[in-house]
Amino acid sequence: MSISNPSNRILPPSFYIRADVVQIARELLGMVLVTCIDGILTAGLITETEAYAGAIDKASHAYGNRRTARTEPMFSKGGISYVYLCYGLHHLFNIVTGPEHIPHAVLIRAISPLDGLEDVLLRRNKTILTPTLSSGPGSMSAAMGIKRNHTAMSLQGPLLWIEDRSLQPEDADIISGTRVGVAYAAEDALLPFRFWIKGNAFVSKAKGL
DNA sequence: CAAACGATTTTCT
DNA sequence: GAAAATCGTTTGG
């Protein structure tokens, strides 16, 4: 399978540096996440995202501008990754957005495989394509080969980048709801900061309005 | 320095 | 549906 000159389809830094993280989370639906890790190129269509609005968002690791070694990448200029270990065994991949010092990020919760399916199956120790292959933030990262050491990495490549292949859903096919696993965030858990593509099989089964 | 805790997934009953 | 798996980060003493 050939990838036709993707260079001019890579989302530029200007896409990420904008201020509205919720809008960016929405626009990322239908974009294509590409990784070239250990020399293996794989790609998937982004089907589910969640916005984390840093300083003012109780669900964010950077709530109240809490700055630690782990959260440091979120305070950088938009356009890099933020990957951290969750529950001791899952690597969760985020896209840092906004200008420098504004710790906004978008969690990529699910993708639908596009390129390199054979390698994706190997990474997940599976033999057939099913939604569980890459639906859910932990399994998505595993499918794409993303690990914690890929944090604070440029989204202009050469290991990670996002392409616009003109596959965005219609506005009517974008659904929003509450974020998953953030009950501790009190009233902010009710914010409609989760987005997914209507009817897509590759959306996590976790509950959310 | 010790202890608790996840932006979850998989397996077992 | 319940419970285990599993460990870096953060917080408290």
Count of C-beta atoms within a 10 Å radius of residue A38: 9
Return the pLDDT at A195: 98
Distance CA A31, CA A29 (A): 6
Nucleotides, chain C, CB distance < 7 Å: 5-11
Return the pLDDT at A5: 55
Q: How far is the CA of A166 from the C1' of B5 (A)?
A: 41
- Whether CB of A179 is under 7 Å from strand C: the answer is no
Nucleotides, chain B, CB distance < 7 Å: 5-10
Q: Which nucleotide is nearest to A67 (CA to C1')?
A: C10
- Whether CB of A89 is under 7 Å from strand C: the answer is yes
What are A200's two structure tokens? 């897509």
Does residue A183 carry a pLDDT above 50? yes
Q: Which nucleotide is nearest to A87 (CA to C1')?
A: B6
Distance CA A180, CA A195 (A): 11
pLDDT digits 0-9 by tens, A76-92: 999 999 999 999 999 99
Note the pTM of the prediction, 2 decimals.
0.95
Return the pLDDT at A4: 52
Judge if the upstream peptide bond of residue A158 is cis by omega within 30 degrees of 0.
yes
Distance CA A151, CA A13 (A): 17
- Whether CB of A68 is under 7 Å from strand C: the answer is yes
- Whether CB of A58 is under 7 Å from strand B: the answer is no
